[in-house]
Every structure is written in C-alpha cells, then in structure tokens.
C-alpha cells in the first residue's frame, strides 16, 4: 500500500541488563513516520530518544514490540538482514562530523560506495552529485582541515546522501556548530526534505526542532506528546 507509513513502532520496549540491575529504557513507544516527513525528536537525557534512534537505525533491536519499515518487521530480521536494510535505505549524520582527516571531501563522500565495491567512476559520479546537493562541488578536493565546521557537516550530509537513502537519521547535527552555521545546516536539511527525503533528527534545541514538520517529545521511556502541522524550513518565531 502506497499510503502505508514508512515507519511504525508499536509497543516498543527496550530493557538493558537482567535481574536487579535491569533498566527499562523504553516502556511502550508508539510512533508513526510517514514518507516525506521531517521529524524532530526531543527529550531530556535518559528519556529514551537515543535508544529509539538506535532501533530506528537498525543498530539495535527492541526487547518487545513491533518495528515495521516499509512494511517489513525489522525485529524479525537477522543481523545481516538488518545490516543490508541499513546500508540500502538509511543515511546517518552525527554531531561529530566523523570525516577522515587525510582524505578529500570527495573521497569522504565516496566512502560508503567504496564499502559497496562500486567502481571508481561510479563512486566519483555519485560523490560529485551528492556534493552538488549540499553546494560543495568547488571544495571537492579540499581536506576537512581546509573547511569550516558548517562545510564539514555538509560533507558529512553528502556522505549520508550518496547511497540515495529513503531516510536520513541525524543525531544532534548542529551540536558542534555556532548559531549561524546551525541555521545554515537546518535550511539545507529542509531543502533536502522538500526534495522528498524523509528526515528523522534528534536535537536538544527548540530552535532547530522548529524547522521540522513534526516534533516528538520523549519522557521517561515513552512518547509524551507529538506536535504536528509545522511548516518545514520555517523556525517558530522566524520570518519565513
């Protein structure tokens, strides 16, 4: 069904440890993410948002509950199958840019395709296309040390986009940037979302979250409330 949600979480729990030392990080999370949405996940430390992101990124599995991605029940997949799903459909952006310091921007962007065994020509073509999406083709041959923090994060976003993922998962993507560069990155994410990419972002900053269409608030291992109806790309209180 084309109208089915891209992602569905039903009754997701996650317990770490056993016996008296067991800690229940998630206590029954229900969440739906539609194709093309821009979702910001917020909550205090220990609220469960990072654990949920790890499950959504196929980096972990729930203790109980159902996680559907494109209709597939992910918790029933093997580790290798989850790895294939992650590589095929998901792109990741982190607070730390995680760029290789001794390689060019283009080579950093090409890296996921190198792991896939793609040809040099294919890697270069796709890498330049991804850099073009973030406005950095003129800096393709520059090393990370020759780029600003905002430019380095753009390279990291291009690296996440080079595999043409369905979903971009961004964990505090503006956490290491000043306000001006943060707004620049959020505007870029909004443009990518307008182009059809589903974005799921964790942030502590309300100003950054307000760029999203949907804001999901976590507290004590559950979804406390969901705000919908924002116009992506226009921060609350902004001029857009």
User: How many residues are recorded in the chain?
Assistant: 240
Confidence band for 197, pLDDT divided at 50, 70 and 90: very high
- Tell me how crowded residue 111 is: count the other CB atoms within 10 A of its CB: 16
Confidence band for 211, pLDDT divided at 50, 70 and 90: very high
Query: Which residue in 129, 125, 7, 5 sits closest to 58, CA to CA?
Result: 7
Ordered domains of the chain (ranges, CATH): 7-227 (3.40.50.300)
| C-beta separation of 215 from 184 below 8 A | no
Confidence band for 235, pLDDT divided at 50, 70 and 90: low
Phi, psi dihedral angles at 108 (to 5 degrees) = -65, -45
Tokens of 42: 């917020």
| C-beta separation of 124 from 106 below 8 A | yes
What is the per-residue pLDDT across 34-91, written as a single tens digit (0 to 9) for each?
999 999 999 999 999 999 999 999 999 999 999 999 999 999 999 999 999 998 999 9
The mean per-residue pLDDT over the stretch 93-103 comes to 90
What is the per-residue pLDDT across 146-164, written as a single tens digit (0 to 9) for each?
999 999 999 999 999 999 9
Query: Which residue in 221, 197, 91 sits closest to 213, CA to CA?
Result: 197
Phi, psi dihedral angles at 19 (to 5 degrees) = 60, -145
The confidence score (pLDDT) of residue 234 equals 55
The mean per-residue pLDDT over the stretch 123-147 comes to 96
The confidence score (pLDDT) of residue 236 equals 44
Which residue is associated with the tokens 């979702």?
Answer: 39
- Tell me how crowded residue 22 is: count the other CB atoms within 10 A of its CB: 10
């Amino acid at each position: 069904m084309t109208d089915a949600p891209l992602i569905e979480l039903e009754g997701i729990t996650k317990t770490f440890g056993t016996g008296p030392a067991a800690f229940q990080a998630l206590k029954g999370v229900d969440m739906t993410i539609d194709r093309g949405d821009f979702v910001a996940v917020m909550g205090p430390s220990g609220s469960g948002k990072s654990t949920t992101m790890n499950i959504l990124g196929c980096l972990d599995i729930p203790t109980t509950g159902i996680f559907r991605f494109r209709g597939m029940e992910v918790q029933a997949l093997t580790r290798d199958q989850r790895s294939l799903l992650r590589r095929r459909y998901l792109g990741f952006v982190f607070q730390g840019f995680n760029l290789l310091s001794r390689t060019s921007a283009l080579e950093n962007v090409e890296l996921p395709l190198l792991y896939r065994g793609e040809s040099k020509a294919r890697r270069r073509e796709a890498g330049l296309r991804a850099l073009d999406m973030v406005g950095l083709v003129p800096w393709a041959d520059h090393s990370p040390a020759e780029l600003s923090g905002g430019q380095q994060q753009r390279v990291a976003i291009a690296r996440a986009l080079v595999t043409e993922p369905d979903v971009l998962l961004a964990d505090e993507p503006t956490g290491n940037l000043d306000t001006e560069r943060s707004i620049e990155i959020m505007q870029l994410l909004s443009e990518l979302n307008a182009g059809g990419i589903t974005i799921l972002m964790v942030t502590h900053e309300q100003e950054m979250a307000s760029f999203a269409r949907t804001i999901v608030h976590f507290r004590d291992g559950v979804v406390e409330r969901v705000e919908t109806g924002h116009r992506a790309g226009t921060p609350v209180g902004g001029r857009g």
